[in-house]
Amino acid sequence: MPDIVKILPIEVSNKIAAGEVVQRPSSVLKELLENSIDANSSKISVIIKNAGKNLIQVIDNGNGMSRKDMHSSFVKHATSKINKIDDVFSISSMGFRGEALAAISSVSMVEMASSKHDENDGYFIEINGGKIVKENELNVDEGTSIKVKNIFYNVPARRNFLKSDFVELRHIMNVFHNIAISHYGIEFSFINNDEEIFFLKKESLKRRIISIFGEKIREHLVPIDEKTQIANLFGFILKPEYAKKSRSTQYIFVNNRSIKSQFINHSIFSSFEGLLREGFYPGYFLFINMDTAKIDVNVHPNKTEIKFDDDQHLYSIINSAVKHCLGIYQVTPVLDFEKDSSMDISYNHVNSDPKIPTIEVDSEFNPFKVFNEENFMKKNSDVELNNTQSDIIDNSSSKIFQIFNKYIVSTSTSSLIIINQNLAHQRILYEGFLKSIFESSSKSQKLIIPFEIDLSISQLILFKKIITDFDSLGFEYKLSESLLTITSIPVQLENNSIEEIIDEILNDDIDFDQSKNLSYSDFFAKKLSKSSSIKSGKKLNLDEQEFLVNQLFSCKEPNLSPDNKQIFITLNKNDIENRF
Ligand code: ADP
Ligand code: MG
Backbone torsion region of residue 37, taken as left when φ is above 0, otherwise alpha when ψ lies between -120 and 50, otherwise beta:
alpha
Asked whether the beta carbons of 225 and 233 are under 8 A apart, the reply is: yes
349: pLDDT strictly greater than 70: no
The predicted pLDDT at position 393 comes to 37
What is the distance between the alpha carbons of residues 56 and 412, in angstroms, rounded to a whole number? Answer: 61
The CB of 507 under 6 Å from ligand 1? The reply is no
Nearest CA to ligand 1 atom 12: 73
Nearest atom of ligand 1 to the alpha carbon of 143? 24
The predicted pLDDT at position 316 comes to 94
Nearest atom of ligand 1 to the alpha carbon of 63? 25
Q: Average pLDDT of 360-372?
A: 45
Backbone angles phi, psi at 136, to 5 degrees: -165, 165
Q: Distance from the CA of 379 to the center of ligand 2, in angstroms?
A: 53
**310-330 residue pLDDT tens:** 889 999 999 999 999 888 776
The predicted pLDDT at position 331 comes to 61
- In this predicted structure, which of 17-21, 360-364, 400-404 has the lowest mean pLDDT? 360-364
CATH 3.30.565.10 domain range(s) in the chain: 10-202
Residue type, 482: S
The CB of 36 under 6 Å from ligand 1? The reply is yes
Nearest to 34 by CA among 78, 94, 112, 113: 94
**27-85 residue pLDDT tens:** 999 999 999 999 999 999 999 999 999 999 999 999 999 999 999 888 866 666 655 44
More confident residue, 230 or 145: 145
Mark out the alpha helices in 477-569 (DSSP H runs). Answer: 498-507, 519-532, 542-553
**492-542 residue pLDDT tens:** 665 556 777 777 777 665 555 444 444 567 777 887 788 788 889 999 999
Nearest CA to ligand 1 atom 21: 35
The predicted pLDDT at position 302 comes to 59
> At 417, is the pLDDT very low, low, confident or very high (cuts 50, 70, 90)?
very high
Nearest CA to ligand 1 atom 17: 73
Nearest to 502 by CA among 441, 459, 547: 459
CATH number of 212-328: 3.30.230.10
Task: State the Cα torsion 210-211-212-213 to the nearest 10°.
Answer: 40
The CB of 144 under 6 Å from ligand 1? The reply is yes
The predicted pLDDT at position 357 comes to 47
Asked whether the beta carbons of 279 and 245 are under 8 A apart, the reply is: yes
Q: Give pairs for 495-502: CB < 8 Å, separation 24+.
A: 495/531, 495/532, 496/451, 497/245, 497/531, 497/532, 498/451, 499/451, 499/453, 500/244, 500/245, 500/246, 500/531, 501/527, 501/528, 501/531, 502/453, 502/463
The CB of 100 under 6 Å from ligand 1? The reply is yes
Mean pLDDT of the chain: 80
544: pLDDT strictly greater than 50: yes
The CB of 39 under 6 Å from ligand 1? The reply is yes
pTM for the predicted model, two decimal places: 0.73
Q: Distance from the CA of 141 to the center of ligand 2, in angstroms?
A: 21
- Buried b / exposed e across 505-520, counting CB within 10 Å, b at 16+? bbbbeeebebeeebbb
Say what percent of the chain tops pLDDT 70.
76
The predicted pLDDT at position 350 comes to 42
Task: State the Cα torsion 178-181-182-188 to the nearest 10°.
Answer: 100
Q: Average pLDDT of 552-577?
A: 92
Nearest CA to ligand 1 atom 1: 98
CATH 3.30.230.10 domain range(s) in the chain: 212-328
* Number of CB atoms found within 10 A of residue 465's CB: 17
The highest-confidence range among 388-402, 476-490, 492-506, by mean pLDDT, is 476-490
CATH class of 10-202: alpha beta
CATH 3.30.1370.100 domain range(s) in the chain: 374-580
341: pLDDT strictly greater than 70: no
More confident residue, 207 or 247: 207
Nearest to 504 by CA among 481, 527, 472: 527
The predicted pLDDT at position 310 comes to 84
Asked whether the beta carbons of 293 and 287 are under 8 A apart, the reply is: no
What is the distance between the alpha carbons of residues 307 and 425, in angstroms, rounded to a whole number? Answer: 44
Nearest CA to ligand 1 atom 14: 79
- In this predicted structure, which of 110-114, 195-199, 386-390, 551-555 has the lowest mean pLDDT? 386-390
The CB of 97 under 6 Å from ligand 1? The reply is yes
- Can you tell me whether residue 532 is helix, strand or coil? helix
Nearest to 301 by CA among 30, 510, 57: 30
**239-293 residue pLDDT tens:** 998 888 778 889 999 988 888 888 999 999 999 988 888 878 999 999 999 888 7
Yes or no: domain 374-580 corresponds to CATH 3.30.930.10: no
Nearest to 444 by CA among 453, 452, 455, 436: 436
> At 120, is the pLDDT very low, low, confident or very high (cuts 50, 70, 90)?
low
The predicted pLDDT at position 542 comes to 92
Ion ligand 2 — residues with CB < 5 Å: 35, 95, 100
Backbone angles phi, psi at 183, to 5 degrees: -125, 60
What is the distance between the alpha carbons of residues 403 and 390, in angstroms, rounded to a whole number? Answer: 9
More confident residue, 464 or 175: 175
Number of H helices, E strands in the chain: 18, 22
